[in-house]
Structure 1
Amino acid sequence: MSHRPGHLMEYYGVDPRSLPPPTHLPPPSSDVRAPREVYEEVCLDFAARFKGEGFRYFKSKKSISKTQGDLTFVLKFDTSRWNIRGINVRFSPSVEIYSSVLADWRRQRRIFDGHGPFNAAIWSGLACGGLNNILTETVGRTYPVSCSWNVAYIETRGRIVDDIEAFIREYVLPYFEFFLDRKNVLEALIVGDKDCRGLTSIPGLDITEAIEYALCFGTLEQASAILHRRKKLLSNLTGTEVEQRFQTFRQKGLSRQVLNGPGFADEISEIRRYWQV
């Protein structure tokens, strides 16, 4: 009997790292090593499975990464402070994509994060998030808010790691592959699926990064088209509200803290004013 990748995930609808330990404990696994040992062993096992695809394991960061061209693709492995020996050991992958070209472009324009000098490790960032955040709307409806697996039980651990691997191969590797074609990325941002669960038409890519991506790898016209599309899709915004915010920023200046803005209207207005799109 075949199963869809990810069918062994747990904690549907919540972030498992925010949960307290269960009050009704199941019988413990025969593997009663410290949760950290089990977690690190699974990290090594998982990393070995993707060595053939060119991913390197970084033990200190608990992540695997691969660089192709200017892009670096990263899979990070998180766990939980609520782990319980022999009962609950969480394994929660997340995704990060970085671009060295985008980092240089930001550096030349002195685009900082508002918290001090330019940090290339942060501002080479392009797309990121938990596995659920990079799924399309159609696929995302069938998965929990947080993608996490319990690897505590040695009796089922191999099968569970197989399931994680299948999930990554089914959804994450194609997601990485997609970003290798800049033309396709720009096209998707401008005319992509309106029902995407993300803030732009590409899951895991926020509107600020989308605009900067278009200005770096495309044209001002493409950046304007992406922003215009975002405005049309936000049913809770009227053109009047956006225009009022835009006039406010024109008069008072910008904070350039787009990601921390109080609302969509402010966010769009800041981007318009800052980039003249």
Structure 2
Amino acid sequence: MDTKTIFLDACNVIAAQLDGFEIYKKGQRLKKNSPDKDMFFEITFESSYMNAPSHIMITPNIAIYSKDLKKWQIEHTKNEFSNGLIYGSHLGYTTPHNTWKKWNVAGLSFERSVNEIAGNIQKYVLPIFELFNSKENAIEVLKNNGTKFNKYAEDSLGPIDFLLCCSDKETSEIFFNNFIKNSGHNKKIVSFYEKLKTEQEIDLNYSEFVDARHLKLAFMNNLSIDNH
């Protein structure tokens, strides 16, 4: 079999071990809706153009989206390409691997790799998706723990859009300030936030660095930074 066929076989063998997901793109995209049908969860599989018969790589990614958030983002950022993303990560960053992990599914590695990927999704990813089965629970989790969904997941400012859309200002500020307090770049964040006060125009669709767009959105929604 060619490398593309083996890669797609791996995607589908993984999918067969996960319940309740719809399969798209010949197995490269798996999707499940939350009970309220607003939020939905995706697992996607990337490969590499450098694949060879002995080296067929697969990288699983996870994402959580909201249809309501997509509408809110389009309205508030004037970006018609907004997608309603609440949270996204690579599988490796939510597991003990703690890195952008790629798996080889060529030859004798196939069975071991697909079983390990499916096992990691079941153990570490599906519990994250379950936290978002209701907006109320998702908001409470983000307010109290940020995106530290388990001891391996990294803290992310990404869900600030979701909280501004679906919760109140107080909740958004608690999440926002907890992220800043725990960030290794809090001085840079605070300095940038202060600089925004002097800007005549703020472009929400340009990001000077990671999280700059989220900081701009927080600023334009009048979130305050505590003295840390």
Q: TM-score range by the shorter chain?
A: 0.7 to 0.9
Of 45, 59, 81, 1:77 maps to 45
Aligned to 1:210: 159
Give the equivalent residue in structure 2 for 1:95. Answer: 62
Q: Distance in 1 between matches of 2:71 and 2:171?
A: 20
Q: Which runs of 5+ in 1 are unaligned?
A: 1-32
Q: Which position in structure 2 is the counterpart of 1:224?
A: 173
Partner of 2:48, secondary structure, is coil
Q: Deviations over 1:99-125 (max 9, x none)?
A: 112112223x34234xxxx12xx4221
Structure 2 residues not aligned, in runs of 5+? 224-228
Alpha-carbon displacement from aligned partner over 1:146-177 (angstroms, at most 9, x marks no partner): 22221111x45233322221111111111111
Q: 1:100 to 1:205 in 2, by over 3 A?
A: farther
Task: Report deviation, 1:55.
Answer: 0.9
- Aligned partners of 1:223 and 1:148: how far apart in 2? 34
| Higher RCO, Cα 8 Å, sep 6+ | 1
Distance 1:36 1:224, change over 3 A: same
Task: State the distance in 2 between where 1:263 and 1:152 align.
Answer: 35
Q: What percent of counterpart residues are identical?
A: 20
What CA deviation, in whole Å up to 9, does each residue of 1:168-202 have, x standing for no partner?
111111111111133333233333279x499xx99
Distance 2:58 2:193 in 1: 44
The residue that corresponds to 1:128 in the other structure is 88
Query: Which residue of 2 is the match for residue 34 of structure 1?
Result: 2
The residue number in structure 2 matching 1:237 is 186
Of 202, 208, 211, which residue of structure 2 is paired with 1:254?
202
Larger radius of gyration: 1
Q: Which moved more, 1:144-153 or 1:74-83?
A: 144-153
Alpha-carbon separation, structure 2, partners of 1:275 and 1:111: 12
1:44-103 deviations in Å (ceiling 9; x for gaps): 2222332xx221111257211111221111111111122111x11112111121111211
For residues 98 and 204 of structure 1, the distance between their equivalents in structure 2, rounded to whole angstroms, comes to: 18
Whole-angstrom distance in 1 between the partners of 2:149 and 2:133: 22
> What is the CA distance between 1:214 and its match in structure 2?
1.6
Q: Partners in 2 of 1:268 and 1:44 — Cα distance?
A: 35
Number of residue equivalences: 220
Q: Which letter maps to 1:132?
A: G
Q: How much is the aligned-residue C-alpha RMSD, in angstroms? A: 3.1
